[in-house]
Amino acid sequence: MSATFFGHPRGLATLFLTEMWERFTFYGMRAVLILFLVASVSTGGLGLDDKTATAIYGLYTAGTYLAGLPGGWVADRLIGAQRAVMLGGTLITTGNFLLAISASPKGFYIGLLVIVLGVGLLKPNVSAIVAGLYPEGGARLDSAFTIFYIGINIGGALGPIVIPLAQKFFGLRAGFGAGAVFMLLGVLQFYFTRKYLGEAGVRAAPIHALGSDTTLVPRSKEWTRFWIGTASLALVVLMSSAGWIPMDALRLGQAAAYVIAGMAILYFAYYFIFADLTTEERKRGVVLVVLFIGCALFFSGFEQAGSSLTLFAERYTDRMMGWLHFEIPTGWFQSLNSIFIILFAPFFAWVWIALARRKLNPSAPAKFAVGVMLMGSGFLVMAAAAAIVAHGSKVLPYWLLMTYLLHTFGELCLSPVGLSYYTKLAPKRFVGQMMGMWFLALSLGNLVAGLIAGEFDANNVAAMPGQFMHIVYFSVGLGAILLVLSRPVKKLMGNVE
């Protein structure tokens, strides 16, 4: 294959652009979602109260990560990653289109569900194809993922600028319509350039008969499972839209948090008791549990970006650029994370290398602890801003800017090491499942973030500084405990670097 994309095979450009447009749509839509949910019916919104809206927001974002589990399974077992990406992109387009045109709240929620399923099919599998382009792995693959990650963040930076603008000029729903169009662009791009991917992700993995390396079994059993799952989901949707299953977003969100936490506990119990682990693997399993908790904790703060922090930007931040007579759309704040990632990721990479040269490279658990504490300190800034608001004035945008900067620094400490240690610390035969657990932790964090965001009361701004401080105490405290534990925990990792 001739190298034509920053010294990489042309196929990487196909995947880069697909993921860029997907993130563009995803983060662009997310930047306006909470505001649409709480906007009054007379202005074209859904007119929900904050508690319900933040719960729906949490369920939606948690869903997109959870859906990665069946999404990966469908690609591996049934249709291959390429077709999963096509199908996922088509569903995301359809879902956003439904958000734009649905006349009833019901149609809107179905649109959200369709997007969730689409992201679950597209996101994990497009990354899997990146890996598939470099069967030899190593430094070339790392470099490919670095480029791919830039694509993610170009999309993540531009989407939340363009979609809120579309909304500002063409109406509340137009933003969703624009999202649909951009995702469609991504899908068509993928379809017409997928030939550059070669064999990567074309087919599902062969399924071997038990105990045999050569005898293949047909996929009929997997297809049956697939259709049972799909039919059950369709049934739940039908019954709830007919009003037979009462849907209360807040209670659903709370129940889902317990279910996900319960799934994690059961899985780890199974892992330690029945998985036939060696002593070494058992010790590393403890590290996986600690990192799971750290991840869920971090994202339960970080992922309030699009809920409580967006509501703060909308209601209490002076977004008027006086000299331009232009009010910054609230959604624009959501592009800061990606912009900061692009600006500071190289700096962080340099810091880790410089520290490693001096043999000071912090261990993965230590980086997690620092990440959680940075997240907490971001909320300290919010507490200060909220104290000004409690005195009755709006604040300047710099407070939120600072919070998002600290949160991004936290992400840069925690997120890149997280997934890589999840694959390194698990025995080979469990790598796939452990990646699923990482996504489960992310999902749990997102859900809890929605529930915490629901605790803020727009009619009681006086309580706001204290509520932000609660998050600070909790996360800085637990971060400190993690830091103290990081030495013994690192010992448990053995020789894994």
Query: Smallest distance, Å, CB 362 to ligand PHE?
Result: 20
Bridge partners (DSSP) listed for residue 9: 3
* Binder of ligand PHE out of 18, 64, 307, 415 (CB under 6 A): 415
What mask, x for binding ligand PHE by CB under 6 A, covers residues 183 to 222?
----------------------------------------
- Which strand (E) or helix (H) includes residue 3? strand 3-5
Dist CA 182 CA 166 (whole Å): 12
> Is 96 in contact with 114 (CB distance < 8 Å)?
no
Query: Smallest distance, Å, CB 393 to ligand PHE?
Result: 33
- Rule CB under 6 A: which of 422-461 touch ligand PHE? 442
Query: Smallest distance, Å, CB 418 to ligand PHE?
Result: 10
* Paired tokens of 3: 């190298």
What mask, x for binding ligand PHE by CB under 6 A, covers residues 24 to 53?
------------------------------
Residue 116 touches ligand PHE, criterion: CB under 6 A: no
DSSP state letter for 322: G
In the block, which residue shows the tokens 């991840």? 295
Dist CA 170 CA 44 (whole Å): 12
- Nearer residue to ligand PHE within complex by CB, 38 or 435: 435
- Nearer residue to ligand PHE within complex by CB, 61 or 467: 61
Burial bucket for residue 9 (CB in 10 Å: 0-12, 13-18, 19+): buried
Dist CA 452 CA 445 (whole Å): 10
* Paired tokens of 117: 């399923």
> Is 177 in contact with 100 (CB distance < 8 Å)?
yes
* Paired tokens of 383: 């507490």
* Binder of ligand PHE out of 156, 160, 365, 378 (CB under 6 A): 156
* Binder of ligand PHE out of 15, 99, 121, 152 (CB under 6 A): 152
- Nearer residue to ligand PHE within complex by CB, 179 or 465: 179
- Nearer residue to ligand PHE within complex by CB, 162 or 464: 162
Burial bucket for residue 424 (CB in 10 Å: 0-12, 13-18, 19+): middle
Query: Smallest distance, Å, CB 318 to ligand PHE?
Result: 28
Query: Smallest distance, Å, CB 56 to ligand PHE?
Result: 19
Q: Give the total of residues touching ligand PHE (CB under 6 A).
A: 6
